[in-house]
Structure 1
Amino acid sequence: MSIRNNFAIMAGRTTRWGLHTFLKGGSSYPGMLSQKLDPTVLEALSKDYEVVIVTGTNGKTLTTALTFQILKQKYPDIITNSTGANMLQGIVSTFLEHHSYKKSSKKKVAILEVDEASLVYVTKYIKPKAIVFTNVFRDQMDRYGEIYTTYQLMLDGAALAPEALIVSNGDAPIFNSKETINERIYFGFDHLPDGETQAHYNTDGVLCPYCHTILNYNFISYSNLGKYYCPNCGFKRPELTYRMTDILKMDHQSSRFVIDDETFEITIGGQYNIYNALAAYSIGRIFDVSADQIRAGFQSSKRVFGRQEVIQIEDKEITVNLVKNPVGLNQVLDMIGRDPEPFSLVSILNANAADGTDISWIWDADYESISEMTIKQVTASGERVDDIKTRLEVAGVSPENLQVIPAITDLINSFKQAPTKKIHVLATYTAILQLRKELANQNYIEGGM
């Protein structure tokens, strides 16, 4: 390492120690400082690591967490950005946290969640072994634009590391729409018999990228994901390297399924999370992790920030889910709809930069499905409470069943007074941060992420 490398690392580590010791936080600033002092510091910090990057619209955090636990079974010298700080400064901070001047004889591995738009800045300095593409859905229109813009950002980032293997969701047509410099393999679902169907009319990314004919499907898992083909020009889903072939159980808390003739279980609900598990499994196999070790990794995984995170408030069980776009919200609604017990529902909508300032997405989400569930009470909250209140009313939530609590700080008391033991919370990113801060202030959880 150069003198400049070492100075930037020392400054970053000292700053991190001060922030964590005295302020109990600061996951990105140390990296920002080190990067400013030495723009190449990430290259120096990561040079001894075999790196896997996980990127895409939905599922990055859980896929990263599952992959980390799987690889940890075989490679104990492993790091990850568990706080979810997934832009360049957060990635630098992750390596700063684990930096040591001592040489290790063991293989060092890093599993990194990376924001789609930040990938091009990270791969400028890191040359990963593999890059996972989870999916691309319409998300934060003010920042990313349409799905094709987002995908191009991901391709541009991958192209800076041409030796990296792209491990893509083969059920997403967009991932087969362009040639890449990088070698590609695919994972996907093969759990249903072939039939004939098309995606719902309010679905993005269902035109053939070559002739623009509406794609047909032998089956659809959700949204535009499935076994697709073009009836006009022959464009179709690529061959899958890793396949999920059967769903044995799927409820609001867990799933059991078969991949490559092996049965696995994850303690988190929802079909969308089986995709995340399949992506993590794929990386495990690439790293020669055994099926038994992968099973152990799945069982070791805990629910992470805002992903079916359960918080106990007196006799109430609060399950918190991050929602940020129509496809993700619809999958969460499908998951909570599988809860056999009556529950209350709280929808918290913010529109800060980290959430996406464009909230038009709530009108593309299927809030109408709420009317089919056993929900005793619905609550609207957040900085855009009037918008979510209106959306819920249009979706058919009756005025007598809808309460409005604008301030997140007032939600804790409403949780205690809810007519059900279970409460499902749907919240945007900054809303979850605000809620967690208030819960920490009232000693229901520890502070921080």
Structure 2
Amino acid sequence: MYLSKILYKGGTNFPGKIALKFDKNILKKVAHNYTVILITGTNGKTTTTNMIYTTIKNNGEFVITNDTGANLFTGIITCFIKNYIFFDKRNNKYAVIEVDEANVKYITQHINPKIITITNIFRDQLDRYGEVYSTLNKILEGIKGVPDSTLILNGDESLFGNLNLPNKTLYYGFSTPIVENKELPINADAKFCKFCKHEYKYNFITYNHLGDFYCENCGYKRPSLNYYVDKIISLSSIGSVFNINNKEYLINQFGTYNIYNALCAFSVSKTLGIKDSVIQYSFRSLHSSFGRQEVVKIKDKNIKIILVKNPAGFDEALNSISLDKRDISLALLLNDNYADGKDISWIWDVDFENLKNPKINDILVSGIRMYDMGIRLKVAGFEQKIFSICDNYDSLLTNIQTCNNSTIYLLATYTAMTGFRKFLNNKGYIRKLW
């Protein structure tokens, strides 16, 4: 394990690959006696996993997690091997595990989770997952093998209602609108009823296709919510304050999508019997996962790194940045490696035109497909004079250091984010790579 960390800058999958060579059922053995919570879905897996892990830890329990984001089969095996102790006598052991949507079926062949939670489903890496119904079916294939697992699902996600599964199912969502909006955006992912194919209507929409939906034709509608946001108190560029089930919570991360992450973590925590006071403390003291609103200091600049990978998440990031009324700069990094999705046409569904902050003084563009991003931004109406094309990380770093503003939002696809973080680690700006 130690050698793989040195050689592979993290060792997040390699030990699992080696272990499988010796024992095909190694996961079942190393995960024995753990109470396992699986978190899957398109957006929010890593942050939600971090929230649940932190809450269980603050409740005084022994808990492990794959905090590096290695959420494929071999990465999850590595997580359990890393934490394996021979002759371990502890009875209350928890494992909070983020799992890739297409890998749920491999995990549930060896583990019977206490809880499986699904955050949402959006178009993402179409060359790998297919459309949203294909992604849902991949997840359900894994759930069907574990009928005793409790499902905690996003009730505002129209794909998750009436799944016809024997599992005990709980739902979370919003019982109050954030803004008065009933019109689906053009790039919404699940516009039509999954039963009769008529277009959904909404009492309100939170973002993309999530919200209080109903079908006028067949009567399908959002299920009753067990856990719900019933009041939005404040939204800002540094966090959000809101009520869940009539009690106030604060999270130190911005965006509607992070309120959903917190609501999901709350739902899991309450199902495990954790007190509200522990959850409240955990949320307000949370440390950002790497690349998820992580702040890196580069001389006098504060770089907030945000992972973006699909239109729904990108739009929410831009909406949240619009809450910042200071002068800011943007850095946009676009790659098309396998882990990002080879098809980058989705950037044309991102609503850059709706970026409301009028005080953007610099836009830095980098990554393998930097020119595609540059063209997209030019079409969106941004002035070319504020652009800087950075064809390598040294150039990007130099431009960051000479930006007009101290606050820079860096939005990057997965391999661009991890690649730039490795670069910053080598330069000494980031101490912990994973």
Settle same-fold status: TM greater than 0.5: yes
Amino acid in the other structure paired with 1:270 = G
- Find the partner of 1:426 among 411, 420, 423: 411
The match for 1:7 is none
Amino acid in the other structure paired with 2:299 = E
The match for 1:400 is 385
- Find the partner of 2:236 among 227, 251, 256: 251
Aligned equivalents of 1:312, 1:389: Cα separation in 2: 26
The match for 1:29 is 14
- Find the partner of 1:345 among 316, 330, 333: 330
- Find the partner of 1:285 among 270, 285, 299: 270
- CA offset at residue 315 of structure 1? 0.5
For residue 138 of structure 2, give the secondary structure of its aligned residue in structure 1. helix
Amino acid in the other structure paired with 1:66 = M
1:45 maps onto 2:42 in alignment? no
Aligned equivalents of 2:384, 2:339: Cα separation in 1: 31
For residue 243 of structure 2, give the secondary structure of its aligned residue in structure 1. strand
Q: How many residues align?
A: 434
Amino acid in the other structure paired with 1:71 = I
1:296 maps onto 2:309 in alignment? no
Contact 1:251 1:338 in 2 (8 A): yes
Aligned equivalents of 1:409, 1:25: Cα separation in 2: 23
Amino acid in the other structure paired with 1:94 = C
Aligned equivalents of 2:2, 2:308: Cα separation in 1: 33
- CA offset at residue 103 of structure 1? 2.7
Contact 2:177 2:206 in 1 (8 A): no
Change (3 A) 1:22 1:147: closer
Change (3 A) 1:94 1:109: same
Contact 2:335 2:416 in 1 (8 A): yes
1:198 maps onto 2:179 in alignment? no
Note the alpha carbon deviations across 1:260-292, whole angstroms, 9 max, x for none. Answer: 111111111111100000000001001000000
For residue 69 of structure 1, give the secondary structure of its aligned residue in structure 2. helix
Contact 2:38 2:97 in 1 (8 A): yes
Aligned equivalents of 2:121, 2:358: Cα separation in 1: 28
The match for 1:74 is 59
Aligned equivalents of 2:10, 2:90: Cα separation in 1: 32
- Find the partner of 2:44 among 44, 51, 59: 59
Note the alpha carbon deviations across 1:138-165, whole angstroms, 9 max, x for none. Answer: 0000100000000000111111111111
For residue 388 of structure 1, give the secondary structure of its aligned residue in structure 2. helix
Q: Write the mapping of 1:226-375 to structure 2, written as runs, cut at 5 A.
A: 226-370=211-355, 372-375=357-360
CA RMSD in angstroms, aligned pairs only: 1.6
Contact 1:155 1:180 in 2 (8 A): no
Between the aligned residues of both structures, percent identity stands at 38
Change (3 A) 1:72 1:196: closer
Contact 1:60 1:113 in 2 (8 A): yes
Change (3 A) 1:150 1:234: same
- CA offset at residue 374 of structure 1? 1.6
The match for 1:440 is 425
Contact 2:156 2:213 in 1 (8 A): yes
What's the TM-score once normalised by structure 1's chain length? 0.94
The match for 1:11 is none
- Find the partner of 2:134 among 149, 158, 174: 149
Contact 1:409 1:435 in 2 (8 A): no
Change (3 A) 1:112 1:196: closer
Contact 1:75 1:109 in 2 (8 A): no
Change (3 A) 1:47 1:229: same
Change (3 A) 1:132 1:373: farther
- Find the partner of 2:207 among 222, 241, 250: 222
List alignment gaps of at least 5 residues for structure 1: 1-15
Q: Write the mapping of 1:8-23 to structure 2, written as runs, cut at 5 A.
A: 16-20=1-5
- CA offset at residue 372 of structure 1? 4.7
- CA offset at residue 406 of structure 1? 1.8
Is the deviation greater in 383-392 or in 184-193? 184-193
Is the deviation greater in 127-136 or in 187-196? 187-196
- CA offset at residue 344 of structure 1? 0.6
For residue 42 of structure 1, give the secondary structure of its aligned residue in structure 2. helix
- CA offset at residue 197 of structure 1? 2.6
- CA offset at residue 75 of structure 1? 4.3
Note the alpha carbon deviations across 1:145-186, whole angstroms, 9 max, x for none. Answer: 000000000111111111111110000101115322322110
Contact 1:75 1:107 in 2 (8 A): no
Aligned equivalents of 1:143, 1:256: Cα separation in 2: 36
Amino acid in the other structure paired with 2:253 = I
Change (3 A) 1:371 1:389: farther
- CA offset at residue 326 of structure 1? 0.1
Aligned equivalents of 1:350, 1:192: Cα separation in 2: 35
